[in-house]
Amino acid sequence: MVSPQAEAVVDLEAYRHNVATLAAHAPGAALMSVVKADAYGHGLRPVARAARDAGASWLGVVTVEEALALREAGDTGPVLCWLAAPGAAYGAAVEHDVELTASSVEQLDEILNDAPTGRRPRVQLKVDTGLSRNGARGPAWDDLVVAASRAQAAGKVEVTGVWSHLACADEPGHPANDQQETVFRDALDVVGEAGLEPQWRHLANSAALLTRPSAHFDLVRPGIATYGIDPDPAVAGIVDLRPVMTLRGRLAQVKRVPAGTAVSYGHTWTTDRETTLGLVPLGYGDGVLRSASGRAEAAHDGERVPVVGRICMDQLVVDLGDRAARRGDVVTLFGAAPGAPTAQDWATAAGTIAYEVVTRLGDRVVRTHRG
């Protein structure tokens, strides 16, 4: 079969390896595979299945819709979602045994009011320990815990968890990590004093899983590392992670050009010798970051070639030099191919993080799942 002209090959065996490796690094905790944002661009359904196969007891998503997509795909295990504006489909979530997060008394009330008659929602309480995003802090945390404890005593809710999220886990020496962990432990004391005994206390994303055993608690929530990408170059090489996504395109055109040929919009790059240009059918319309223009590399036949000139909406140009190349040859932008750059290399070239490199990919890029 001819492979698609632009393809993200997703290696589910590598994914399962990463999940199992990360679970082994946090032996005292259960593991929640974070599969929000279409499994960081890797494809929700197959990745979720692979996560369960690899032993993830939980799946983590952002929206109720993402959680319901998991149920539609046949997933029946524990799922937590954690960000909702008023009007979210809480009722449907409760009906499908999806656990919800309450970040305020107001939100807890919304969940309780929307729960189908006779169903007791399973809710986890989110404490803001210093990231200043979602979650209750200070007196609002005390109020949330009291309200949740009363609602549980009245049989209206089951409080199953307490959790928070770190701001600087990818900088292991940052003082915010200790501070947030202390605030989290204090918040747990408030919960205990209110008579609640939630089973799941969790704080650690990939970076904290890798570097901060004291933050593992009952459950760890890795996302990026399960996809074989280090959370940050500062937190690299701690365990054996394998890249899950390989992004590649097949050359749509190969042509020999003389020295002095200006390439792509704005003519920002000009050949300094006779050379061969290859046209890769991937561009910023597919999520390839335009800001990596002129700095990123790709791999052709096991060797690095530079991306030259501006990355366009649908295509980019590589300088193949005097290499033997033909229309239809595979050029790998990043991933598990000989000589290929990593997603982090593209992030560095684009001045961003590797999370953005994989999650930005659009629907035009065919996802091919293997393993």
Residues that bind ligand PLP (CB under 6 A): 34, 82, 165, 205-207, 221-225, 231
Which of 40, 90, 156, 265 is catalytic? The answer is: 265
Catalytic residue flag (residue 255): no
| Shortest Å distance, C-beta 48 to ligand PLP | 15
Catalytic residue flag (residue 265): yes
| Shortest Å distance, C-beta 151 to ligand PLP | 23
| Shortest Å distance, C-beta 165 to ligand PLP | 4
| Shortest Å distance, C-beta 188 to ligand PLP | 17
Q: Which is nearer to ligand PLP, 129 or 206 (CB)?
A: 206
Is 242 annotated as ligand-binding? no
Q: Which is nearer to ligand PLP, 190 or 224 (CB)?
A: 224
Q: Which is nearer to ligand PLP, 225 or 361 (CB)?
A: 225
Q: Which is nearer to ligand PLP, 25 or 221 (CB)?
A: 221
Is 32 annotated as ligand-binding? no
Which of 15, 36, 227, 284 is catalytic? The answer is: 36
Q: What is the 3-state secondary structure (H, E, C) of the chain?
A: CCCCCEEEEEEHHHHHHHHHHHHHHCCCCEEEEECHHHHHHCCHHHHHHHHHHCCCCEEEECCHHHHHHHHHCCCCCCEEECCCCCCCCHHHHHHCCCEEEECCHHHHHHHHHHCCCCCCCEEEEEECCCCCCCCECCHHHHHHHHHHHHHHHCCCCEEEEEECCCCCCCCCCCHHHHHHHHHHHHHHHHHHHCCCCCCEEEEECHHHHHHCHHHCCCEECCCHHHHCCCCCHHHCCCCCCCCCEEEEEECCEEEEECCCCEECHHHCEECCCCEEEEEECCCHHHCCCHHHCCCCEEEECCEEEEEECCCCCCCEEEEEECCCCCCCCEEEEECCCCCCCCHHHHHHHHCCCHHHHHHCCCCCCEEEEEC
Binding-site residues for substrate sit at: 133, 313
Binding-site residues sit at: 133, 313
Annotated active-site positions, please? 36, 265
